[in-house]
Amino acid sequence: MIRRLLLPLLAALLFTGAATAQSAHAAGYRYWSFWDRDGARWVYATQGPATARPSDGDVQGFRFAVSEDSQDADQPRGTADFAAICADTPAQKGKKRVALLLDFGTPADAPSGETPPPARTACARVSPDATTAEALAAVAKPLRYDTNALLCAISGYPEQGCGEQVSANTEHKKTKKHTDDGPSLGLIGGVAVIVLLGAAALWQARRRA
C-alpha cells in the first residue's frame, strides 16, 4: 500500500525537477532594448522609439543584449547625465536636445563573428516634435529596421539579424540569474521526503511483524 502511494509521488517530483531544469534553459532574444532615464535610474520604455517623443533635456538609452523579456533586459551602462552628454551641443532656438546613451553590449551578447563597438553617448539636436527614432537617426546612422519597424541595428551594429531567438543553454549563457550545476533544491527536497516516508513505512512493517 505504501509502495503504491510512494511511486506516483516520486514520479511527480522527478517531473517537477525536469521542468525546473528545462526552465533554466529558457530561450532569450537578441535585440536593442530602449530605456528612459528617470532621475538616477533607467526605466524600460513603454513606447517604441518610432512613437516616443522626448522633451528637451531628456536622456534615453539603448542596450544591445540577449534577454528573455523586459524584466530580464540589461540596462545601458555608463554615464547618463544630460549636462555632460550635451555639453558641446549648445541650445538652439526652435530645436530640442536629447541625450542618448548607446551601449552595444558585450561579446557574449554579440552575434557570431561580430564584435560590439565601445559604448558611446551622443547629443541629438532636432525639431521640437521629433521622435526618438529621428533623434537617433541624427547621430547614429546607419540604422536598420525590419518590416515590422523593429529596430535591428544602430550605427550598423549588428550587421545581420534582428530580434532572433537564442537558446540560453547553447549559444548564450546568462550567469546572473541561472546556475545549472547539479539538481534543483526542489528535487533534492522531494527525494528527501521520499526517503523519510520510506523509512517510516519500513519501521511500521517491522513493528507489525
C-alpha cell at 2: 505504501
Of the listed ranges 59-63, 75-79, 92-96, 118-122, the one predicted with least confidence: 75-79
Percent of the chain having pLDDT more than 70?
Answer: 67
Average pLDDT on 160-183 reads 60
The mean pLDDT value for 112-135 works out to 98
Neighbours of 50 (CB within 10 A): 14
List pLDDT tens digits, range 11-29.
444 444 444 444 444 579 9
Q: DSSP character for 181?
A: S
More confident: 2 or 208: 208
Amino acid identity at 102: L
Most distant CA pair in the chain, distance: 97
Provide the pLDDT confidence category of residue 119 given band limits of 50, 70 and 90: very high
Task: Look at residue 1 in the predicted model and tell me its pLDDT.
Answer: 52
Distance in angstroms (rounded) separating the CA atoms of residues 24 and 183 = 11
Output the CA–CA distances (angstroms, integers) from residue 189 to 19, 55, 120, 192, in the order listed.
Answer: 15, 54, 48, 5
Mean pLDDT of 167-196: 45
The DSSP secondary-structure symbol of 141 reads P
Q: Where are the domains of the chain?
A: 2-24+179-208, 28-166
Contacts of 184 (CB under 8 A, 6+ apart): 17, 20, 21
- Residue 71 pLDDT: 85
Q: Average of pLDDT values for 51-73?
A: 94
Whole-number Å distance between alpha carbons of 51 and 53: 6
Angle between helices 185-208 and 2-23 in degrees, nearest 10: 170
* 137-141, 144-148, 159-163, 175-179: the lowest-pLDDT one: 175-179
pLDDT at 209: 55
